[in-house]
Chain A
Amino acid sequence: QKEVEQNSGPLSVPEGAIASLNCTYSDRGSQSFFWYRQYSGKSPELIMFIYSNGDKEDGRFTAQLNKASQYVSLLIRDSQPSDSATYLCAVTPEPYKYIFGTGTRLKVLA
């Protein structure tokens, strides 16, 4: 079992819809959770981080964490074509070690 799992996609959503991206992790002791966006040919850029159970909102983005289910998700409201990218989930199963999923490719259709 991989440490961090994401559906590779592509996930296609129409412009203006809500995109829901999911990530599961295997190490129950993981403390910190991150979402990155990576455009083709570019390096990852941080979108959000979450440490506590529940929801965290930042603009059009909401991160949701459920430690009991070992599940973290990212919701993108009012999706735009410019949101089309690969979204990477990252987890810290131990201090100073970041494990990334292989990413979900999102396509927002105009």
Chain B
Amino acid sequence: KAGVTQTPRYLIKTRGQQVTLSCSPISGHRSVSWYQQTPGQGLQFLFEYFSETQRNKGNFPGRFSGRQFSNSRSEMNVSTLELGDSALYLCASSSGLAGGGNEQFFGPGTRLTVL
């Protein structure tokens, strides 16, 4: 089975711009979660999608948004970029079955640099 894929792998943007990141989960997985990883804060949960519905989210400002398509692919958007948004953005896929504690498998990440 192919793993989780994320595009693009690297991005450089300037403050005030917006960015869209994409994630394709493992075939058959219907849940996609997004994380921001920085050296200071570690891995922080952004949100989780299942069957095109956001089921949970973390404590990030509204500039961070996401969506999921009917084929389970997901996109994350960050508007009005700030320097502090520079990070590795990871997505993780899981079966998303009831119970809420399924094993997640991570993609390679998108490295975002905001200048």
Contact = CB atoms under 8 A, between A and B. Distances in A.
Given A95-B55, A95-B56, A46 B104 contact: yes
Contacts of A98: 33, 45, 48, 92, 104
A47 to B, nearest CB: 10
Interface residues of A, number: 24
A51 interface: yes
B101 interface: yes
B66 interface: no
B109 A43 contact: yes
Interface residues of B, number: 28
B56 A94 contact: yes
B103 A49 contact: yes
Contacts of B43: 44, 88, 100
Given A96-B56, A96-B100, A102 B42 contact: yes
A92 interface: yes
B101 A46 contact: no
Interface string A84-104: 000010101011111111110
B25 interface: no
Interface in B29-66: 31, 33, 35, 41-45, 48, 50, 55-58
A43 B56 contact: no
Contacts of A66: none
Interface of A: 31-32, 34, 36, 42-46, 49, 51, 88, 90, 92, 94-103
Given A32-B101, A34-B104, A102-B41, 11 more contacts: A31-B99, A32-B102, A43-B106, A43-B108, A51-B101, A88-B42, A96-B31, A96-B48, A96-B56, A99-B45, A100-B45
